[in-house]
Amino acid sequence: MTATAPEAVEAGGTAETGTAADNAEHTEAVPATPHFRFFELEVLRTRRLGRSFLRITFGGESLAEFRSGGYDQSLSLFLPPAGREHTALPSTDEDTWFANWRGMPDGERPVMRSYTVRAQRRTSGGADEVDIDFVLHGDSSPASFWAGRAVTGRRIMAIGPAVAENKSVRFQPPAATDAILMYADETALPAAAAILDRLARGTRVKAWFEVPHEDDRLDLPTLAHADITWVVRARGAGRERTEQLLDVLRSAELPPAEAPYGWIAGESATIRAVRRHFVQEFGVDRRAVRFTGYWRLGVSEEELLAEAYAGRAPSEDPAAAL
């Protein structure tokens, strides 16, 4: 069975991530392809990582066919509405699921959000598991509401990768890359952490990770030679927040590099400013900067999804004008 996957709404529209994902600002309708299919995921356990982060480990027999490409691999979760324990979809057929899902009454339709696959593994007993990290911020969004109440045995549906080489992995540095520059806010931190997990020993990395609280600074194991600057967000939003971050970037010492690659993900206005700084101040070729808006300040998740479905989501083409 194949499925049409709305591509990477990771941490999707609000600060949920996680991995992976919650906003559809960068969602595109992916043609029916064997690269993606439906999976049923069952909550096995949860673990608090910091004030804002919760890791949920999922299992399920269908995960035997799950093939994460690593790095910033995304998948789309279908979360049950409040009051329902499990996700129920009227169809998982590739030709009918989307129309049937969209046609469900508002109070019954599962909420679709995209998240990053933080890790995938097969246990010594032969069971398949997937970790997804969520950002918790109370009950202000459906994914945070659901994750904060997730207990063992709850089941949800997901569209995820059936092959490792798929277009929902956006981290694609050119072969000549000799240093990596990264920025992520809390919604994209699980994706950034998964990237660091996969980098080769000695890879030069300079990264800026923005989080809401001091105790959201996570331990991020990596074989890369990574210089990580944690930016704890000061009070304020919008331009004030962006200026705080740019002040940190202006004082940065970069690794020497002839062909750096930039990976930027988080709030839309912020990542545009960071991308501009990478290109104009750091001298990174704009074609070598991958930037992804996971959410937009002042815009709801559903509004972002509607834009994506209508084909009005901003371009992520690295060659796009600044």
pLDDT greater than 80 at residue 81: yes
The percent of residues above 70 in pLDDT, for the chain, comes to 80
Q: Which residues sit opposite 196 in a β-bridge?
A: none
pTM of the model: 0.84
Asked if 150 and 267 sit in the same domain, the reply is no
pLDDT greater than 90 at residue 127: yes
Neighbours of 152 (CB within 10 A): 11
Residue 238: pLDDT band by 50, 70, 90 thresholds?
Answer: low
Residue 56 within a domain? yes
Asked if 157 and 221 sit in the same domain, the reply is no
pLDDT score for 241? 81
Residue 145 within a domain? yes
The percent of residues above 90 in pLDDT, for the chain, comes to 68
pLDDT score for 234? 73
Asked if 143 and 196 sit in the same domain, the reply is no
Are 166 and 71 in contact by the 8 Å Cβ rule? The answer is no
Average pLDDT, rounded, for the chain: 84
How many folded domains does the chain comprise? 2
Domain that holds residue 190: 179-309
pLDDT tens for 271-291 read: 999 999 999 999 999 999 999
What is the pLDDT averaged over residues 237-260? 87
Give the closest residue to 8 by CA, choosing from 169, 122, 118.
Answer: 169
Asked if 40 and 156 sit in the same domain, the reply is yes
Q: Which residues sit opposite 211 in a β-bridge?
A: 232
pLDDT score for 298? 55
Q: Cα–Cα distances in Å, from 72 out to 169, 196, 297? A: 5, 10, 22
For residue 292, what is the domain's CATH number? 3.40.50.80
What is the pLDDT averaged over residues 286-309? 72
Cα separation, 187 vs 209, whole angstroms: 10
pLDDT tens for 139-195 read: 878 899 999 999 999 999 999 999 999 989 999 999 999 999 999 999 999 999 999
Asked if 157 and 183 sit in the same domain, the reply is no
3-class SS letters over 262-308 = EEEEEEHHHHHHHHHHHHHCCCCCHHHEEEEEEECCCCCHHHHHHHH
Cα separation, 113 vs 141, whole angstroms: 11
Residue 254 within a domain? yes
